[in-house]
Amino acid sequence: MKFFKSVSNIIFMSIILVLSVALVSSVAVMREKENELETVRSRESEYQSRLSEKENENSGISSELEEIENQKKKLEDENARLKEEKEALSKEAEKQKAAASSAQAELKKKAEAQSAASSVRPAEPVKNKVCYLTFDDGPSKNTLKILEILKKYGAKATFFVVDTKDIGYVRNIYEAGHTVGLHSATHNYSKIYSSTDAFFSDLKKISDRVEGIIGVKPKVIRFPGGSSNLVSKSYCNGIMTRLSALVGEKGYSYFDWNVESGDADKTTASYTYIRNNVLSGAKNKNSACVLMHDSTAKTTTVQALPEIIEGLAKMGYRFEAITPETNGYHHKINN
């Protein structure tokens, strides 16, 4: 009986011991859990603190973003206003530029007209001792003879042509290296000097005629009677003043002369008269632009030409063809 009681005590004590150990373990676990819970609470508190800071920061950023948006809107409005002002200024600048260009063109036109009306290009070219032999009123049956003489002496010349029945000879003139200039189609003073339109209509006819033969549009001209003629006044007052300005605007250069051969003084003047006029007229000049004629009746001009060339060569002259850039030989305009 005592044995069983002893065993019971042992069992009881064992249970008590187990329970005690379990209790101690539970208390330890509970303390560990409390520590973990405290750590979690501490971290949660820290997180809440950080979250609060971030919310405050986000609130500040939102305010800054709102301010930036407001500034952006102001800048966009300002840019739109500046763009409108720029477009308005650009349009105004274009208007002023167009007005200035128009005014400049008008001033240039007036200056050219005044220059042509009141002044003379330099009487002498830059080159020394250059002679321009010029022949008006051709081509004619004399043209080929003139070309042969010029070839013999290696001289170049300028032919101011009209619309004759021998107009085809302009090809011979051009191919020989001489300048083909325009005189007029009709040489009819009453017609060509009746108005500026009439003059340029006539000039276009001879220009088209020549271009059709040689393939080149001539740019040098000589007014019938020269720019100083007074005959034109009988048909249109002031026309030479206007024409002398207008030809330049249309791309032409006009040329008068400073030595007269006198071959137009008579239908057929003597060759010695023609020769002597040229040689005496060219004497002591720096340059010479000699007026001669190439119409059918001017046979003595052909006869005098070799002695004219030889005499001028002895004076030191060389013979060149006129170009649009040649200087000088503008008379004083009288109408």
CATH number of 130-319: 3.20.20.370
| Segments making up each domain of the chain, as ranges | 130-319
Active site (annotated) includes residue 330 = no
**Average pLDDT along the chain, 335 residues, taken 10 residues at a time:** 66 76 72 77 77 74 80 82 82 78 64 45 64 98 98 98 97 98 97 97 98 97 97 96 94 96 94 98 95 97 98 97 90 95
Q: 173 is written with which tokens? A: 């003139």
Active site (annotated) includes residue 178 = no
Alpha-carbon distance values, 238 to 78, 187, 231, 327 (Å): 61, 19, 11, 24
What's the CA gap between 263 and 279, in Å, rounded? 13
- Among candidate residues 136, 202, 256, 263, the one labeled active-site is 136
Supply angle C-alpha 22, 28, 29, rounded to 5.
85
Contact between 161 and 169 (Cβ < 8 Å): no
- Among candidate residues 187, 293, 330, 331, the one labeled active-site is 293
What's the CA gap between 21 and 16, in Å, rounded? 8
Instruction: Give me the pLDDT at residue 116, please.
Output: 46
Predicted structure pTM score: 0.65
Alpha-carbon distance values, 193 to 163, 182, 201, 206 (Å): 17, 16, 11, 16
